[in-house]
Amino acid sequence: MNDRMALADLAGRYAAAVDGRDAAGLTALLAPDAELVQPPALVRRGQDAVVTGAEAIVATVLGATAHLLSTHHAVHQQVLDVDGDTAAGQTYCTAHHVYRDRDGALRDNALAIRYQDRYRRVGGRWLLARRELVVDFGSDNPVTVPGA
């Protein structure tokens, strides 16, 4: 698989692991010393905007989505610059977060996001070395979820 296809696959697998609440799968996509940079508006009180280490990132990401009924991350285009065993890129995504409001109605907090990514090839596999989340805009709408 060429580098660009492998990096696109990595972005898709990251989204699928988050949506599937797959801690082991998500951990396998991150360099052990990876960094996650969150926008200040999304950082919970007492937490740091920069999370370092694969296990800490997985705990942060899955912890932030644990209260949601479901998530759906749709990965769109990527812009990539590959240089040997490192790469940098920007991955566009729409992130849907389905939750119940105070009245029990289902709502979707949808965010248009971009990940500013840095990648490193380790043992022949591309891994995320740094992921910075940028939120461009959002909306919050009522939704229907079959079987919910």
pLDDT band for 1, please (50, 70, 90 cuts).
Answer: low
pLDDT at 126: 98
Given this model, what pLDDT does residue 146 score? 85
pTM above the 0.75 mark? yes
- Tell the residue number behind the tokens 């999370």, with chain if given: 51
SS (H, E, C) the chain: CCHHHHHHHHHHHHHHHHHCCCHHHHHCCEEEEEEEECCHHHCCCCCCCEEECHHHHHHHHHHHHCCCCEEEEEEEEEEEEEECCEEEEEEEEEEEEEEECCCCCEEEEEEEEEEEEEEEEECCEEEEEEEEEEEEEEEEEECCCCCC
CA 23 → CA 15, 17, 18, 45, 146, distances in Å? 12, 7, 8, 24, 26
Cβ atoms of 84 and 31 within 8 Å: the answer is no
Q: Residue 105 is encoded by which pair of tokens?
A: 């109605």
pLDDT tens for 42-90 read 887 778 899 999 999 999 999 999 999 999 999 999 999 999 999 999 9
Q: What is the pLDDT of residues 89-140, one digit of tens each?
A: 999 999 999 999 999 999 999 999 999 999 999 999 999 999 999 999 999 9
pLDDT at residue 48, as a whole number: 87
Identity at 109, one-letter amino acid code: N
- Cα(82)–Cα(43) distance, integer angstroms: 31
pLDDT of residue 114: 97
In this predicted structure, the answer to whether residue 21 has a pLDDT above a threshold of 80 is yes
Q: What is the mean pLDDT of residues 13-39?
A: 98
Q: Which residues contact 109 (CB under 8 A, 6 or more apart)?
A: 96, 97, 99, 138, 139, 140
* pLDDT at residue 43, as a whole number: 81
Catalogue all structural domains in the chain, each as residue range(s) with its CATH number: 3-142 (3.10.450.50)
